[in-house]
Amino acid sequence: METNTWPREGRRIRFPEIRRVEWESVMLPERLEPPQVLVRAACTLISAGTEIAAYSGSHIGYSTPGSTFPRMPMNPGYAFAGTVEAVGDAVTTLKPGDRVSGGMPHAEWAVVDAGRSSLLRLPDGVTFEQACLARVSVFPFQGVRLAKLKIGENVVVFGQGLIGQLARQFAHIDGAIITMAVDLVDARLEVARRHGATHPLNPSRDDVAAAILQATGQQGMDVAIEATGNPKVVNDALKAVGMLGRVILLGSSRGKVEIDPYNDIHRKGINVIGAHGRTASISPNPYHRWTGAEHIKVAVELFRQGRLKSDGLISHRVPADQALGMFDALMERSQEYLGVLVQWSDAR
């Protein structure tokens, strides 16, 4: 390969230990190996769930015997979008100038193996921001898919952070006729309303249970999706659905909660479904086509078509030089934020 035009080193975000975040310098190769691709970041999206739980020390993996995640030190991040700067001699699927997304951590440069990485070339009409959102969408996408919605069914989503916002949109695309959005933050409800929520409800002033009964003719919802991560809301989701309803546990609720299994599950014939990301197929096969990678491709295409809405989902765009402070901010004042995007190009 000819003499490179990229810098000798870049930087990426590192958690050396719980509640500490710092910059880490990374040496870039002078020459790429034949299968390698060098990508310059445009933006990365901070995960308010997994990353903040790992950073704060609240992640359940710290207290689960045998768990291997999270472990410090770590490089957080998995929603990366940018431009291909150079490719190795064996790479034929990508070329310099291609816009791509991938599951790389927060860094201004990434060197990845084209054959083993999750790089996806972005079509025209899809922004870098939407590409990062598509990476996060694999979790709500899997939750809605497990709900097995039918056209005309009714869905309530508890929690309107990024995961809940995308889950409600996917439910609408999948055929739900009523989609209720429940959250304590009015700004989030306004975004949901603009994106088509039929009933934006704030439980601090709205009677959510009464609204559900009125909207469904006293029948209850067909599907309730719990996307807050608060175990107490599991009871609200169980009570929200009617006979043979489905409750999707999407928010990775941690902690114990007392439930009434006879009245809220057994008597109504409820299905309670765990929708952890690991429930998606790893490798596609005729029985289980929908891997996480396929979900990302579909989300990208839905953004391209304009059927999946992104306006308002990013509440804060911060230059990379200010990125380190966002982890404490999200941990301590999460309700002030929706999506937080790190803009690497602005930091140069």
The CATH 3.90.180.10 domain(s) of the chain lie at 9-136+291-347
Residue 346 confidence class, pLDDT cut points 50, 70, 90:
very low
pLDDT of 163 > 80? The answer is yes
Please give the class, per CATH, of domain 138-275: alpha beta
pLDDT of 148 > 90? The answer is yes
Give mean pLDDT, residues 225-245. 96
Percentage of residues in the chain with pLDDT exceeding 90?
Answer: 86
CATH topology (fold) of 9-136+291-347? Quinone Oxidoreductase; Chain A, domain 1 (3.90.180)
pLDDT of 336 > 80? The answer is yes
pLDDT, the chain, mean: 94
Residue 3 confidence class, pLDDT cut points 50, 70, 90:
low
SS (H, E, C) the chain: CCCCCCCCEEEEEEEEECCEEEEEEEECCCCCCCCEEEEEEEEEEECCCHHHHHHHCCCHHHCCCCCCCCCCCECCCCCEEEEEEEECCCCCCCCCCCEEEECCCCECEEEEECCCCCCEECCCCCCHHHHHHHHHCHHHHHHHHHHCCCCCCEEEEECCCHHHHHHHHHHHHCCCCEEEEECCCHHHHHHHHHCCCCEEECCCCCCHHHHHHHHCCCCCEEEEEECCCCCCHHHHHHHHEEEEEEEEECCCCCCCCCCCHHHHHHCCCCEEEECCHHHCECCCCCCCCCEHHHHHHHHHHHHHHCCCCCCCCEEEEEEHHHHHHHHHHHHHCHHHCCEEEEECHHHC
Can you give the pTM of this predicted structure? 0.94
The CATH 3.40.50.720 domain(s) of the chain lie at 138-275
- Give the model confidence (pLDDT) of 171-228 as tens digits: 999 999 999 999 999 999 999 999 999 999 999 999 999 999 999 999 999 999 999 9
Residue 348 confidence class, pLDDT cut points 50, 70, 90:
very low
- At 232 the pLDDT is 94
- Give the model confidence (pLDDT) of 85-107 as tens digits: 999 999 999 999 999 999 999 99
pLDDT of 241 > 60? The answer is yes
